[in-house]
């Protein structure tokens, strides 16, 4: 029974470590996306705004892309995530063989709780980032529409 509990503890520790690695990778993707949007916004904001509906579409598209960049930045803000580790001084009361099973149970329960809390936070950040990509796609769609309107106005 003790070996099974040790393996269960090891699995919870591995899961918590994987969550932290996943969160770091997700934050990096969000930062890169935000930077890419910043470059696009900077390039598109330069030059002649134009007139009429093309100008309105450009302004709305840039505002939409700026909003998407803000959402991406928000998705990678610092948040509290829990690890599966702890300080050894808190475990000194459990160094007796008769308490080792209770000790493992307590660690497994703590890790399961940390994993559940991490999952909630990772999902929240993932939803915000997904929404940022959707908003950015809408902004890019507006820019394409602007190109069509501009081309149509020049052809008329």
Does residue 90 have a pLDDT over 90? no
Average the pLDDT over 109-123 and give the result: 94
Average the pLDDT over 106-133 and give the result: 94
Q: Between 113 and 54, name the one with better pLDDT.
A: 113
Average the pLDDT over 115-134 and give the result: 96
Q: Does residue 36 fall inside a structural domain?
A: yes
* Domain total of the chain: 1
Does residue 95 have a pLDDT over 80? no
Q: Does residue 41 fall inside a structural domain?
A: yes
Residue 88 pLDDT: 62
pLDDT band at 96 (very low <50, low <70, confident <90, very high): low
Concatenating the DSSP letter of every residue in the chain gives -HHHHHHHHHHHHHHHHHHHHHHHHHHHHHHHHHHHHHHHHHHHHSS---SHHHHHHHHHHHHHHHHHHHHHHHHTS------S---GGGGGGG-SGGGHHHHHHHHHHHHHHHHHHHHHHHHHHHHHHHHHHHHHHHHHHHHHHHHHHHHHHHH-
Residue 144, domain extent: 2-83+101-155
Residue 47 pLDDT: 74
Q: Does residue 136 fall inside a structural domain?
A: yes
């Amino acid at each position: 029974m003790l070996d099974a509990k040790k393996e269960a503890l090891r699995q919870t520790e591995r899961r918590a470590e994987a969550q932290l690695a996943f969160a770091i990778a997700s934050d990096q993707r969000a930062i890169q996306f935000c930077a890419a949007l910043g470059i696009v916004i900077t390039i598109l904001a330069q030059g002649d705004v134009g007139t009429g509906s093309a100008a309105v579409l450009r302004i709305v598209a840039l505002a939409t892309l700026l909003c998407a960049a803000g959402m991406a930045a928000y998705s990678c803000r610092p948040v509290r995530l829990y690890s599966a580790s702890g300080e050894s001084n808190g475990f000194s009361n459990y160094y007796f063989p008769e308490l080792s099973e209770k000790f493992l149970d307590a660690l497994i329960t703590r890790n399961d709780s940390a994993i559940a809390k991490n999952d909630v936070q990772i999902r929240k950040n993932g939803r915000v980032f997904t929404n940022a990509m959707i908003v950015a796609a809408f902004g890019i769609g507006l820019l394409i529409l602007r190109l069509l309107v501009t081309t149509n106005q020049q052809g008329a």
